[in-house]
Structure 1
């Protein structure tokens, strides 16, 4: 459960009213779910069921989000990833069957009918206590009017509101204040109880969590394998087109030098100079290739100084802030370094930015890296600017990537990679 700041005393009752108002569409969706499932055989359900399931999931996700935002209770989404519906009626029918076979669909349906009964009590109780307390405050002043109108009731089960005024009449405001205090003080607890009840109904079961975990690991493993294969192809291509070609040319030049040394010393000297220049270029290309595989500065000085070196090489002004009391594991460092490198490249090539800022820190057992720029915005993971590759790279470490890039900018990309720091920081800065 996430710790959140304590809300103002008046907020939980109002939030309870918001949650209670949501119970009405929940009950309506339950009726639609039953109808669409029952009418699958008639054909109408094939069109209606996916729409109803999507509406139920949208409402359930809203409840999950409110439970997290208002009470700090995190509820994971247990839905299976389903393929797109196939063509024709048979494809739609198969899609409906897959939706119904998802255990989360059954739990969502149960939530739509159980939560309006039990959840409404938990949500409305704080506001009900406040209203009942206010009634105790105003009843003594409306006593005569209510009695003459034939009002007959007992307040708090003790005070008969039907006869003559008495001492107990003026105890009602004290009871009212007590109910108001109770509503205000128990509001956060009842709101948290509602969130926990929601998690019990909507949260994934242990088996679902294991299944989702295995699926996630399978997808990320495949992404890592593909990424490594692409990296090996890049290295092979760079060696073949760069250093290898130069080394072959150097060998041919040296053979020519051996043939010309006695007959044409000037031509041999020119070929030697050309060979020396080629050797320098080949050495530079090999160094660049090594830095592309794993930069020496990353191994020697850690992520902070390696990112600072990237910032110095960037064509844009880059502000770097690093707060790392230690170093993460080498694979995490490498993934984070190349992710930052890709983001800097994106900012220089696509964002039309004037400035970039990078913040690296370790918070809540996770490496948190924020990279922002003042460019034109519009960056998305699906835009083909390398963000998808970054997401796949850090997903192998259970990392998450979030991108906030409205049209017109600015762009803020945040990565969080769970990890521990294991060695003191060494830096010359």
Structure 2
């Protein structure tokens, strides 16, 4: 039991020393670089450097989260807003600066410089400082300069050196209780600043609720559209075809020629109804998507475009059907926008899956100027992706090119 306790205290003291040595220079470096980079945003330099600097700050904070869980048993959740890989630097910069988690990281840096450094250093001092008292009692007092103090004990001879050893023993006894607690306190301070607050989590729930409600409303509108298309299209043709066949039945003996003509008309109506049903089914869930997956479905989509389109697919498996459907129709909407509004003559589509993310980027060489806003088709795409906790980023400066990047968290079969 005592061996385990000694090992626990020694480990806590060593870890506290490591944290003290890293907290101060690491936090100072991250804070200075962040402040300089953000200050340079108005002159344009910060637009490029800020995402890289803030990514480094996130990595530093996440490393501390990992240590908090492994060394202190303190869980510090991360709630960063995801940004697609291909997002434009401007979108990445202001996307990260618009994230509350980023500002929590920046607020934590000066706290770590002071409270983090002090708690880590105290955990180490309480363990290692008593050793100096023992060494003094063993004879180090003979080479110490006059006027040397160990704590509140002036060391002038062997007797005072023994008093220093007694003080060291008392401090060592205290360290058995306080050193692990100071290390734990170090991580509690980090959690106090880094963990998302209840208001932020409530906002997250609100956003997810809205995206789910939008998905339900969209599904209801889609069902109404399907019902209307069936009623006005295929159903009307089938009713007319039934009436023609009834007339044919009445005329088959009296007027074979007219009956033959009506049969030909019924055949054309059946072909038209079948075409409309196929188009309707393709609009709900394209057969090629169900049979061959997202990559081939997007390739088939590209073949029907009047613009030269290059599709690159690196998908080692298939996502769930709802995810594939959302990605397919999102790509379809972006391609339609590129053809109708961007005046592009070339489009590139890239689909790949890495780190648990389905990433899709659509780039065109059109006139640019695409924005996410009310009345924009991109807003509908953003809501569609939001149903699956996905994100959308658009880089479209005036004059082009336009790059739309979409990410959906998913696993592939």
State the Cα deviation string for residues 78-110 of structure 1 (Å, max 9, x = none): 9xxxxxxxxxxxxxxxxxxxxxxxxx8xxx89x
Match of 1:204 among 196, 200, 207: 196
In the alignment, the residues of structure 1 paired with residue 382 and residue 38 of structure 2 have an alpha-carbon distance, to the nearest angstrom, of: 37
Structure 2 spans left out of the alignment, 5+ residues: 1-25, 40-48, 63-77, 82-99, 118-187
* CA distance 1:197–1:315, change in 2 (3 Å): farther
Pairing partner for 1:378 from 322, 345, 369: 369
Residue 391 of structure 1 and its aligned partner are, at CA, apart by 0.9
User: Residues 311 and 348 (structure 1 numbering): CA distance in 2 closer, same or farther, change over 3 Å?
Assistant: same
Rate the CA distance shift 1:231–1:270 in 2: closer, same or farther, 3 A: same
For residue 299 of structure 1, report the CA deviation from its aligned partner.
Answer: 1.4
Q: CA deviation at 1:120?
A: 8.6
Residues 317-396 of structure 1: pairs in structure 2 closer than 5 A? 317-382=308-373, 384-396=375-387
Q: Cα–Cα, structure 1 residues 368 and 22, in superposed 2: closer, same or farther, change >3 Å?
A: closer
Q: Counterpart of 1:68?
A: 55
Q: Which residue in 1 is equivalent to 2:171?
A: none
Cα shift readout 1:394-425 (whole Å, capped 9, x = no counterpart)? 11111001111111111100111001111xxx
1:119 and 1:197 in contact (8 A); partners too: no
Which residue number corresponds to residue 417 of structure 1? Answer: 408
Contact 1:402 1:415 survives alignment (8 Å): yes
Task: Please give the per-residue CA displacement for 1:125-162, whole angstroms capped at 9, x wherever unaligned.
Answer: xxxxxxxxxxxxxxxxxxxxxxxxxxxxxxxxxxxxxx
- Following the alignment from structure 2 to structure 1, what is the Cα–Cα distance between the partners of residues 111 and 36? 12
Q: 1:354 to 1:370 in 2, by over 3 A?
A: same
Task: Tell me if structure 1 keeps the 8 A contact 2:34–2:54.
Answer: no
Partners in 2 of 1:242 and 1:292 — Cα distance?
A: 14
Aligned length: 275
CA deviations 1:262-296 (Å, max 9, x no partner) are 33222221111111101001001111111111111
Q: Give the drift of 1:232.
A: 0.4
Output aligned runs, 1:163-182, within 5 Å.
Answer: none
CA distance in 1: counterparts of 2:340 and 2:50, whole angstroms: 41
TM, length-normalised to structure 2: 0.58
User: TM-score scaled by structure 1?
Assistant: 0.56
SS in 2 for 1:382: coil
8 Å contact from structure 1 (residues 23, 116) kept in 2: no
Report deviation, 1:197.
8.3
CA apart distance, 1:199: 8.1
Distance in 2 separating the partners of 1:398 and 1:242 = 36
